[in-house]
Chains A and B, each alone.
Chain A
Amino acid sequence: MIVGERKPLAEIAEMLEPFRKICVLGCGTCVTVCLSGGEKEVAETAAALSLLRQKEGKDVEIITHTLLRQCEYEYIDDYAKNMPECDVILSLACGVGVQTMATRLSEKIILPGLNTKFMGYPLEQGVWTENCLGCGDCVLDLTMGICPVTRCSKSMLNGPCGGSQYGKCEISKDVDCAWHLIYERFLKLGVLDRMEVIQPPKDWSTSHHGGPRTIVREDVRLETGK
């Protein structure tokens, strides 16, 4: 899933400073699951903003709502039909949601309430970890399911580097060395000879380095979209 983290309240308050009627809009998918931009966080953010304005003696009107997905026109359009009047929408969706909203509702001001952090998964309750960079050319077949592009701090395809000690990465004792994990996985699966293969330079043009990406699937396109 896409994992987000709410921006500090002070930063949100500062960007909302010029506005009186604010809509705090949550998103019901990834950021709900990772507890950063769902219904509950919308209510908390709205309450905190009200309190802050109250303290400052400034008037504010806050409305709240949560869409199932801010990253699809279908849900945005549904909401837009009966959308209450407001000066600004604070979106608690990821960057994808904020931009989809800003594109579809181009006459509205849409501001981001989250920092979109990464694609990852919950390691345990309250802990999320990154495990995919979306490089566009998956190498998990080479490493038996552990991504060195994402999880090695240096994105090495031929690791581990000399900074790997006691299973940890040189950048922090809290970060596992991905290549140590890959080594152990190879060992367990009896394919240690894979460590000998020199992986050639990666084609980064399939990643963001090749420019913003779009996928076109002619087989599923509708006539109207062409």
Chain B
Amino acid sequence: MKPESKLEKVLSSGHFAVTGELGPPKSADLETLKHHAEAMRHYVESYNITDNQTAIVRTSSIGVAATLIQMGLEPNVQMTVRDRNRICLQSDLLGAVSFGVRNFLCLQGDHAKFGNEPQSKNVYDLDSMQLLQAVRKIRDEGVFIGGEKLEHPLPRIFIGAVANPFADPFEYRPLRLAKKVAAGAQFVQTQCIFDLERFEKWMEKVRELGLHKKVYILGGVTPIKSIGAARYMQNNVSGMIVPDALIERLKGAQDKKKEGLNIAVETIQRLKEIEGVAGVHVMAIAWEEVVPEIVERAGLYPRPRVE
């Protein structure tokens, strides 16, 4: 079966890929989101659509994906196991495939405690590893988790996961990636990279395990807008490392925003040089308009054309 996903085509033909990210709004009005998507149109292969990120109620990832497809753009639908059981996850997968979604990202999801419905009941029927395995099995074997067969085989979908080199235990993190690959991950996007040294150490071990040849690794890049944003990520976002040196560098700069962009561009340039990094995932949530500039300055524009 030939790839149908543009992202898969770009990666499998050896190009350094760029993916973007869109956070759905806390309303059903998608005008601003559409505007952001449009601005990135020629700069990214596909767009991650977050799934009630940090457990905050927003328009559903699949709902936004439908809008993107109407616009002729490619969504990467994020699916967390926090809010849906295996009945719903499998059914939503089929629903999304039915209207053209080809990229799925299987995630655990932030705990509901962080969101705007902290009294809700967590589901966690599956974990992210089990979801990955289930999606692969549905695609490759045409069988649901419970063992029943699909009435018709699924088209070729591209299955993604996330990896966090900045979480602990650090020694385990490359092995965890191996486990995700064994479960079915074809591409992974990493947590935002601010500590390149640690990322490189992780990649070293990933290469030792030969994983860079089995899975496309997209490094996560987030431009920092201000010292406040950097500090917030340093102290309040789980599983993230923001080195003090980076904050010092921002402090020393006259134009913080410009320096934030410089850092993002330099990060991508370094990532391009690391063996086994297949692309970047640019997460400029609430600063989407700078993505074209970052991509261009990182020497990644124009994007490759694939058939």
Residues of chain A having any CB pair with chain B under 8 Å: 153-167, 170-171, 177, 180, 183-184, 195-196, 198-202, 204
Contacts and interface: CB of A to CB of B under 8 A. Distances in A.
Contacts of B163: 162
A158 B110 contact: no
B97 interface: no
Contact of A159 (B127, B166, B238): B127
Interface residues of B, number: 37
Given A162-B239, A163-B238, A201-B130, A154 B168 contact: no
Nearest to B109: A154
Contact of A158 (B113, B122, B130): B130
A180 B168 contact: yes
Contact of B169 (A154, A156, A162, A180): A180
A198 B182 contact: yes
A201 B175 contact: no
Given A154-B108, A157-B127, A198-B129, A162 B162 contact: yes
Contacts of A159: 127
13 contacts: A155-B127, A157-B127, A160-B167, A161-B127, A161-B167, A162-B167, A163-B239, A165-B167, A171-B111, A183-B169, A201-B130, A201-B134, A204-B125
A153 B179 CA distance: 21
Contact of A200 (B81, B130, B238): B130
A198 B133 contact: yes
B205 to A, nearest CB: 14
A3 B108 CA distance: 30
B128 interface: yes
B124 A201 contact: no
Contacts of B82: 154
A194 to B, nearest CB: 11
Contact of B125 (A153, A166, A184, A201): A201
B167 A164 contact: yes
A166 B168 contact: yes
B168 A170 contact: no
A163 B178 contact: no
B186 interface: no
Nearest to A149: B124
Contacts of B111: 153-154, 163, 170-171
A218 B179 CA distance: 44
B172 interface: yes
B164 interface: yes
A154 B239 contact: no
Contacts of A170: 110-111, 114, 238-239
A196 B183 CA distance: 11
Contacts of B114: 170-171
Q: Which among B124, B128, B182 has the greatest number of chain A C-beta atoms within 10 A?
A: B124
A196 B172 contact: no
Contacts of A199: 129-130
A98 B192 CA distance: 51
Contacts of A204: 125
Given A180-B169, A198-B183, A201-B134, A164 B127 contact: no
B124 A158 contact: no
Given A156-B127, A163-B239, A170-B111, 7 more contacts: A154-B124, A157-B127, A163-B108, A163-B167, A195-B175, A195-B179, A196-B178
Contact of B108 (A161, A183, A201): A161
Q: Which among B110, B114, B168 has the greatest number of chain A C-beta atoms within 10 A?
A: B168
A156 B163 CA distance: 16
B246 interface: no
Contacts of A153: 111, 113, 122
Contacts of B81: 154
Contacts of B175: 195-196
A164 B162 CA distance: 14
A184 B134 CA distance: 28
